[in-house]
Amino acid sequence: MLIYPDDRILVAIMNNKKDWQRVLDEGWYRIPVKHAPKGTPDFDYIAFYQTK
């Protein structure tokens, strides 16, 4: 996979085991509206940062 300087990457902070299990099992992630940056649907990649 090549990532280019113009690519937009959304970094999602994962601090909920149920959310992470949903990503693994179902292949999707919810973005709480109140925390979503403007233009959220307009990104090329999503990265997950897991907290303790």
36-49 pLDDT, tens per residue?
777 667 888 989 99
What is the reported pLDDT for 39? 67
Looking at residue 37, its amino acid is P
Q: What does the domain layout of the chain look like in residue ranges?
A: 9-50
> Is the overall model pTM greater than 0.75, yes or no?
no
| 13 touches 38 (CB < 8 A) | no
What is the C-alpha separation between 44 and 9, in angstroms, rounded?
6
The tens place of each residue's pLDDT in the chain, 52 residues long, gives: 899 999 989 888 888 889 889 999 999 888 878 877 776 678 889 899 988 7
